[in-house]
Amino acid sequence: MREIMHRDALREAIAEEMRKDEHLFLMAYDVGKYGGEHRISGNLYEMFGDLRVKDAPISEQGIVGCCIGAAITGCRSIVEIPFMDFMPLCMDMIVNQAAKLYHMFGGQMNVPMVILTAAGGYIRAAQQHSQCFEAWVAHVPGLKTVMPSTPYDAKGLMKTAINDPNPVVFIEHKKLLPMKGEVPEEEYEIPFGQADIKREGTDATIVATSYTVHLALQAADNLQKKGISVEVVDPRTLVPLDKATILESVKKTTKLVIVHDAHVTGGFGGEIAAIVADEAFGYLDAPIKRVGAKWTPIPFPSVMEDYVLPGLDDIEAAVREVVG
């Protein structure tokens, strides 16, 4: 099977859906001839023109508001907010408009839009370009929250997101965008709420999201050499969340480590831990461990960022602690 980069898988999904629906458009700053801040839009401008790949002023609130208006009048839109750090500038539009209109109008109005954004550190981008706000988004009823970890997942989930009748926040990790992976040439979709077991194991479960899935897999490889078998579960979507797959894995291994590069305090890992404590407590043979960023803004110097963000040593130590 061919291998393509994460960003190319996203572009391919968008292009396929734009060919099917002339009312689907992409809007953001720098998505036109420039090809996007992260080169996700690439050559879409040449393929579809400036009426459907629209450069916009640097106003996140204005871009999102425009696309909400287009969505409720019959179009479908993809909004790119290049860095998730900038989403606070348009959270009022997302939280109080996009997420609410379907419910406020008793199901008579849909808001079919994808808010594509990039989160996460590990790229030395400092405090204002390295944050992970997925827990903030997942807390809002009316928003779906997607976090792929592979090009295959990115393409399939993007196609599902575009065809969803209501708003989806699609969170990419900046570290993943140039990463290559196998993607079939034929079209496919991946349903929301369907986790993927990236590696099977028997001694402990790691539930990891986005880029940290790859760290978890590396940690599992290292631990296997020491006789510890680790299962790695990738939820792929936080809302809806595939509780069943997570719970079944924990019931099998009886130990759980949760990994994300968002801060531990208030991170979505706390929600997963609470679900397991509520619904599978009797199966646990050790306390649940959470691994994430330390409680400080993400620093710029490499040695400091490496200290603050979770790494292989942190994950392996957590697994060894629960295995005993």
- Residue 44 near residue 26 (C-beta atoms within 8 A): yes
**What's the CA gap between 262 and 315, in Å, rounded?**
14
Please, what sign has the CA dihedral across residues 262, 265, 267, 273?
Answer: positive
Residues facing 117 on adjacent strands: 81, 171
Nearest to 110 by CA among 66, 70, 141, 71: 71
Q: Does 129 participate in catalysis according to the annotation? A: yes
Residues 6+ apart with CB under 8 A from 110: 71, 72, 102, 165, 166
Q: Is the bond leading into 148 cis (omega within 30 degrees of zero)?
A: no
Query: Which tokens belong to 176?
Result: 């993943």
CA Rg value for the chain: 19
**What's the one-letter identity of residue 143?**
L
Residue type, 276: V
CA distances to 36, 49, 61 from 29, rounded to whole Å, are 8, 15, 12
The 3-state DSSP class for residue 139 equals coil
Distance CA 33, CA 18 (A): 17
Point out the catalytic residue in the list 6, 38, 129, 260: 129
CA–CA dist 192, 194 (Å, integer) = 6
Q: Helix/strand/coil (H, E, C) string of 192-248?
A: CCCCEEEECCCCEEEEECCCHHHHHHHHHHHHHCCCCCEEEEECCEEECCCHHHHHH
Question: Residue 308 is encoded by which pair of tokens?
Answer: 């603050």
Catalytic sites, residue numbers: 129
